[in-house]
Structures are given as structure tokens and as C-alpha cells.
Amino acid sequence: MSWSTKDIPEQHGRIAVVTGGNGGLGLETARALAANGAHVVIASRNPKKAAAAVEDITATVADASLEVVALDLGSQASVKLAAETILAAHPRIDLLINNAGVMAIAEGRTVDGFEEQFGVDHLGHWTLTALLLPALAATEGARIVTVTSTAHLMGRSVDPTNPNLEGRYGPWRAYGQAKLANYHFGLGLDRELRRKGAKAASLIAHPGLSNTDLQSASVSGSNGGRTQRIAEFVSHHTGMTAANGALSQLRAATDPGAQGGEFYGPLFVNNGPPVRKPILRRFDMEKGITRLWTTSERETGVPISV
């Protein structure tokens, strides 16, 4: 039988942090968790969109328990302040959904000077996860779900000598690198959690082809490049709804049978119900994870310490 939100177990008493919970996949993830009783922390860069998301969710989930925390993943200072704010209110965290991101945009830099897609999609989540890890690792059954993409298959693992792709930038090359970094991060983190005997687990998920504002943002943020316009057209006409696209990360986060180090995505590559997927690219995975760890710690100055 197909897995759906009806299969989400009772979440009352659980604390869930969702990055980018103000729209698209993040909004639907926050909605589903709140509908099943979780207290959801919506970590969002845009306060107006966050307020609109709260209004949207409470319109369908009258008793939703929601909280908004300002988070700009493109600013390490903002990430650190968000983590401090969350920990001050929640000494234990049950779920962290690393969902937010940008896709195939024109070349740009974060306020800290990182290539924007790598800086937002990976390094921002690296630091947030590292700082929230004490509350996650000590919580029985806690899960960290990092959202990647089928684009990880076209990505190359980060080059420690040129993580910002200086002189080599392409919107899809950078996106592939960022999504492969998400893939390596989720798997590498679970290895660390297991090695240290932590109570938490790390999983990865991808939403397939989903019709969300990520595609339209890609078009506007890349000056409407041809491949971006094609991607937006295809997702608009053949992609899943945001609610269906969010099912893979929801299953990774809540399915009692899911285990650390597993990967969830649509059955038919980019469409269909969420299922456990095989872990591919094993031939270079250990090297990629090692390079990612070294680079991420060096660039952010924040170690992952379980």
C-alpha cells in the first residue's frame, strides 16, 4: 500500500524544526507534522511569508502548535542566532528537517563569501545541525532528515581547493555539487551518530519532481536561462503537488520502520509514492564524505561534534 500522511504516527509532545517551512515542501511538511500534534518551529528567512504560512496552516489545522524563528541560511551569523534561539526554548528536539534551499540560480555569494547554492543548501544546514546536535543526539528517537535531489547524481563531490567553483561556475553544476553535499552530509552524519552511540539518526530524502516555487525562483534568479525555463515548465505540467512531494521527507522523519542512513524518494524516480531507495555512488562516497567534512569545518569554523 502507498504511504501517505495518514500513516504518520501520533506526534504530540514532539518538537520539530523545519527549515524553509514557510512555503512549498517545507510548508506541507510543517502542516502534516502539526496536524499530527507536533510543535513545529518554522525556521524562515522571510517574516512575511512565515506569518502567511502560520495563517495557512492554522486555517486547516485549528489547534496547530507553531513557532517562527528567523533563519537566513546564507548568513552564518543568522544561523548561529537561530540555533541559540531554538535551544533556549527547546532543550530537546525530536525532528530537524533540513529542507530549505535554492536551485540553479545565477552565480552569487552569501554574506560570508560562499558560493550561494553551496552556502545556503549545505553550509547553512551544516552549521545549524552542528549547533542543534546536542539537543538532537540526546533525544531518544530523534531524526535529522536532509533533503537532497536527483540532481545529486550529476553532481561532483566538493573540491576542497575550490568549493566555491571560482572560474568553473554553472547554475546546474553548482546545484549538483550542493545536492551531492546534502547526500553525503546526511549519510556521513548518520555514521558519526552510530559511531558515538547517539540516540538520534540521520536520513536523507528527495522530493522528485514537485511543482513548487523553487522552480520559479530558479528562473527569476538565473535571469530566465533556457534550462531553468524548461525545468519550470516540466515541473508545472508534470510535477507532483507540494503535498505529495513532501511525503518522502515526512516518511523519513516519521515512519517507525525507517532507519538511520536510509534514503527515501518517489517510487518512479521523480514521481510516485515515497519508498526506500538504494544508496548509489558508493564507489566514491567515503572520499566525498571525508572531503565534505574537511571543507565544511574549515569554511564555517564549526565542527560536527556528537
Cα distances (Å, whole numbers) of residue 149 to 95, 171, 247? 20, 15, 14
* Terminal C-alpha separation, the chain: 37
Helix or strand run (H / E) with residue 292: helix 285-300
Q: Are 245 and 239 in contact (CB under 8 A)?
A: yes
Within the chain, strands assigned E span: 15-19, 39-44, 65-70, 95-98, 143-147, 201-205, 263-268, 271-277
User: Is 175 tagged catalytic?
Assistant: yes
Q: Which of 169, 175, 183, 264 is catalytic?
A: 175
Q: Which grid cell is 115?
A: 558560493
Q: Are 97 and 145 in contact (CB under 8 A)?
A: yes
Residues annotated as part of the active site: 175
